[in-house]
Amino acid sequence: MHRFLLGAAIAATATSAFAADVPVVLDQELAQPHISGYVEAYLGGIRVAAGGNHIDFTGAGGTGRVNFPIDSRWNVQADAFVDSIWGHGLNFSGYGGAVHGYWRDPNAYALGGFASITGYGGDLGSSDLYSFSVGPEAQAYFGNVTLYARSTTVNSAPAARPNTWTIGVAVA
C-alpha cells in the first residue's frame, strides 16, 4: 500500500501545471483604456557665485498630468505645473497648464495638437506677464526611442514672439 501511495504522489508532482497554461480572458470593461496620470514634486537649491561672492536661492515646484482615453486611439491629456525660486528677499514663480488632444497607434506614432498658458509672478514688477502657445505635435516610436516634434505659435504679454519648433528624443 505504501508503494502505491508513494507512486501516486510522485506521479502527481511530476505532471505539468495545466492551470498555468490557461489563457486569461479579460472582461471587456477591464480591457478598455483607463484614465492614467502622475504627479511629481521637487525641492532644491541654486547657488550663484561670482568674484568670490555667492547668492543662494531655494527652488520648488511640481507638475501633474492626467490622460483621458476617449476610445482605443483618441486621447486627451491635461497638464498643470507650478515652479518657484526664492531667496534674499526675492521671489519668482511660473504656473500654468496645457491641453493635448491626439490620435495614437501605440506601436508606431501619435499625432495631435496642444494649447498651453503660462503665467509669471513674484517680484517681476508686473502682474500681467503671461504667454500662451498653440500648435501641432507628433511622436514616432522606435522601440525604446521616441522622437518628438511640435510647432508652436507663442504669444506673450506685453510682446509677441514668432513661431518656434521643438524637436526632442527620449530614450526609455
Give pLDDT tens digits for 35-63.
899 999 999 998 889 888 988 999 999 99
Is 13 inside a domain boundary? no
Is 72 inside a domain boundary? yes
Number of domains making up the chain: 1
Is 133 inside a domain boundary? yes
Spatial CA neighbour of 136 closest among 112, 153, 154: 112
CA dihedral 9→13→19→20, nearest 10 degrees, is 170
Stated as kind and residue range, the H or E segment containing 5 is helix 2-14
Show Cβ contacts of residue 50 under 8 Å, excluding neighbours closer than 6 positions. Answer: none
Alpha-carbon distance of 111 to 15, in angstroms, equals: 51
Is 104 inside a domain boundary? yes
Given a contact cutoff of 8 angstroms between Cβ atoms, the answer to whether 83 and 61 are in contact is yes
Given a contact cutoff of 8 angstroms between Cβ atoms, the answer to whether 97 and 80 are in contact is yes
Is 19 inside a domain boundary? no
Question: What's the chain's length in residues?
Answer: 172
Instruction: Quote the domain boundaries for residue 166.
Output: 35-171
Is 4 inside a domain boundary? no
Give me the residue label for grid cell 505635435.
137
Mean pLDDT over 94-114 rounds to 94
Res 85 pLDDT > 70: yes
Mean pLDDT lowest for which of 1-10, 77-86, 89-98, 150-159?
Answer: 1-10
Spatial CA neighbour of 97 closest among 68, 62, 72, 125: 62
Spatial CA neighbour of 61 closest among 13, 90, 96, 89: 96
Q: Given this model, what pLDDT does residue 150 score?
A: 84
Is 6 inside a domain boundary? no
Is 40 inside a domain boundary? yes
| All cell numbers assigned to 154 | 507663442
Given a contact cutoff of 8 angstroms between Cβ atoms, the answer to whether 78 and 99 are in contact is yes
Show Cβ contacts of residue 102 under 8 Å, excluding neighbours closer than 6 positions. Answer: 74, 75, 77, 110, 111, 112, 113, 137
- DSSP E strands in 70-108: the ranges are 74-87, 90-105
pTM, rounded to two decimals: 0.67
